[in-house]
């Protein structure tokens, strides 16, 4: 039982990192977000994609705060469903390659 739970968590860990942990890390590495122009002033790693990524999540949380955080709840649900679907597809692909089917 414990081994099964460990593999369940381990197989979904990259997706959880991508959907939940990475946005948190990027938002904490950028500072000076202005709600007027919806842009960050500076980031620890000052790359244009990271700034846009952080701006998107800051704006998403700001708009969600005015809608009782329902968009955040939908984001969590969609990410969990996508994680489950992608994990199952990935397992099937790996099983086919390992078994030579």
Residue found by looking up tokens 């960050």 in the block: 40
Q: Provide the pairing of β-strand 42-43 with 30-31.
A: antiparallel
> pTM of this prediction?
0.78
Q: What does the pLDDT profile of the chain (101 residues) look like in tens digits?
A: 677 777 777 788 888 999 999 999 999 999 998 888 989 999 998 899 999 999 999 999 999 999 999 999 999 999 999 999 988 888 888 778 888 76
21 near 15, Cβ under 8 Å?
no
What is residue 88's predicted lDDT score, i.e. its pLDDT? 87
Cα separation, 78 vs 60, whole angstroms: 15
Other beta carbons within 10 Å of 93: 10
């Amino acid at each position: 039982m414990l081994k099964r739970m460990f593999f369940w968590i381990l197989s979904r860990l990259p997706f959880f990192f991508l959907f939940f942990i990475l946005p948190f890390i990027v938002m904490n590495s950028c500072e000076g977000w202005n709600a007027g122009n919806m842009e960050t002033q500076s980031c620890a790693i000052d790359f244009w994609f990271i700034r846009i990524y952080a701006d998107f999540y800051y704006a998403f949380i700001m708009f969600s705060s005015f809608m009782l955080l329902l968009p955040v709840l939908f984001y969590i649900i969609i990410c969990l469903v996508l994680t489950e679907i992608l994990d199952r597809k990935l397992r099937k692909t790996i099983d086919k390659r390992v078994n030579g089917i």
